[in-house]
Structure 1
């Protein structure tokens, strides 16, 4: 999920708090939210059951200190701890740049810890990621309780790789921020290794090297307003000698045969219908056919219907919640909803609706939805 805004010099990364139910994932995020300065945090969203367990996700964008001359923005998530919400775990884990595994230090929770860690490794592998090559921090939580397991036992059972580990008590916030700092350092190190984080800008007065230096010098020697052409030529240096050009008589021009323009027909498969899952194939074909014939209102309506059906595969909830889980741009959905209420639509409106529909299809394919029966 990591992205870089080169203009703002900002790096965005996604960190997921993973672990068994009631291990302290949501409590950890709440303590981070309470500790971080209001100017450096966004709104925390949580959907919980009656037992105060995270059902879908917690989301907390936190802006942390600068790395080089780039600021870092973290999007913090938690996953539901219950095993039967594994599909939601996979969706939240999609695009993660690092994971904090929150382990319950109580002896009776060891089996749940092992099961959750194995589930993390399995879900990452389905996303094409190996856990042993992924930024991971172990958070030994509930260290303030009596009768907890020694850290050596937890390390032997859950941390054979020897990744960074910290003892925490999420209930009072002890060690939680240190855990966030540890996973942030690992994520930034990994992004630098992947050359996602841009290198620092050269210091003021430093001379750029290589091709950049040549371009800079060329721009400095370009003719300024009011500068005589002779002076500009002298500043640019001597003009290299060029061999004389020998005129060549071109052969007679032969007009190429006209290429027939393909006509839309039932055998042509458009880009939207090629991406569409089976249940949305007819809607995608109808939208493409309407676009080709200039019926832009029908095109927008067909796209909107297909998108609603596609987002339903993310599970029950509002359209916004479904779009958030699939990482679909909410602003695009709002704009598309506004187009659905208009009577006179243009070609760019219909093209935009096709674009949004294809983006939703791509997100479904990326997370393996709808799953094969």
Structure 2
């Protein structure tokens, strides 16, 4: 069954090419692989079984059209056609979202076509799936060979349900992509009917190319009734600025004000009892990481730079975990955070006894980068 990667906004669907031995399943898949642009395809992998050249199945991820604001990635598989590899066919068929049945149009293959189609129906039924309610397309393959059976005769023997069918010649590629497009449409329609594809995200306000971190932060910062925009706007800060400028913004937590504002907002010392103006990292943090960001900023304000870096590293680990399972580097790659900055923070967290104020300022800066990426992809959902 299909899987959804909310972080990447991608739906992965599995399509299996099924049919008797030597019907052209592998040739079909190879022709698709050759046709798809290299940038849109993954590596083709195969498992060869002794006994016949067709006894292997291939895996091929292909990028296709977007659904809502999600891309759909197709994983295309072939199965061994010979009857004594039924266990392998069952394994490959598990979790399939659609099937392309590749039938051999030659007269001597008619019985094999019937047996294979019946086998497909039985194997799906073992998974609790009825073939008449399942995305299915049929390829009448080898139409470039002489003395093949008429399509009407093949249809009467196999396609009694009237599913979409295509005359194909896998060796030349004729009709192969038409069949792929048809099964893709059926699979996407089925995913929508099952509500597998998530609803589109609200379109964020576009940020100008080359805009700094401040512009990105202002796009994602939530407005709270007790705060003005000036009170939560983070200081302009980039890695190339002098460290002292970053430190000044982080320690003072002083809000900037527009010249047109007559009365300045309260400073941290003037804030009402029980309230404290948010620092830039805390203002951007999702609810689950709010206290971690505040602890990091409090440590910075208290000149506890080692504690600040440690708190930032802990918050970054927790934030990247929302990207799913994997190493810290893999999670960072999925969130598209700067890998070099991540490595630098990891190095700083391993020598907390020798850290300076600019090291802690960098840690806070990188933490805000990570929070910005979480907001950009809508994670965590509960936040």
**Matching residue of 2:14:** 14
For residues 80 and 222 of structure 1, do their structure 2 counterparts lie closer, same or farther at Cα, with a shift above 3 Å needed?
Answer: farther
**Matching residue of 1:88:** 88
Between the aligned partners of 1:50 and 1:91, the Cα distance in structure 2 is 18
Between the aligned partners of 1:84 and 1:49, the Cα distance in structure 2 is 12
**Matching residue of 2:28:** 28
The 3-state SS of whatever aligns with 1:59 is strand
2:203 corresponds to 1:223: no
The 3-state SS of whatever aligns with 2:163 is coil
**Matching residue of 1:305:** none
Question: 1:154 offset after TM fit, Å?
Answer: 1.4
**Matching residue of 1:167:** 167
**Matching residue of 1:335:** none
Over the residues paired in the alignment, what is the CA RMSD in angstroms?
Answer: 2.6
Between the aligned partners of 1:330 and 1:169, the Cα distance in structure 2 is 42
Question: 1:7 offset after TM fit, Å?
Answer: 1.8
TM-score normalised by length of structure 1: 0.56
Q: Is contact 1:106-1:148 (8 Å) kept?
A: yes
**Matching residue of 1:275:** none
Question: 1:67 offset after TM fit, Å?
Answer: 2.3
CA offsets 1:307-352 (integer angstroms, 9 cap, x no match) = xxxxxxxxxxxxxxxxxxxxxx999xxxxxxxxxxxxxxxxxxxxx
Between the aligned partners of 2:137 and 2:202, the Cα distance in structure 1 is 33
- Aligned length in residues: 223
CA offsets 1:184-212 (integer angstroms, 9 cap, x no match) = 1111110111000112334568xxxxxxx
Question: 1:52 offset after TM fit, Å?
Answer: 4.8
Q: Is contact 1:21-1:53 (8 Å) kept?
A: no
**Matching residue of 2:77:** 77
Between the aligned partners of 1:154 and 1:86, the Cα distance in structure 2 is 23
2:133 corresponds to 1:133: yes
Question: 1:133 offset after TM fit, Å?
Answer: 0.7
Q: Is contact 1:47-1:54 (8 Å) kept?
A: no
Question: 1:28 offset after TM fit, Å?
Answer: 0.3
Structure 2 unaligned spans of 5+: 206-219, 232-254, 256-264, 273-324, 328-383
Between the aligned partners of 1:190 and 1:97, the Cα distance in structure 2 is 8
Between the aligned partners of 1:330 and 1:9, the Cα distance in structure 2 is 18
Structure 1 unaligned spans of 5+: 206-215, 231-328, 332-373
**Matching residue of 2:106:** 106
Question: 1:49 offset after TM fit, Å?
Answer: 4.6
Deviates more, 1:149-158 or 1:162-171: 149-158
2:67 corresponds to 1:63: no
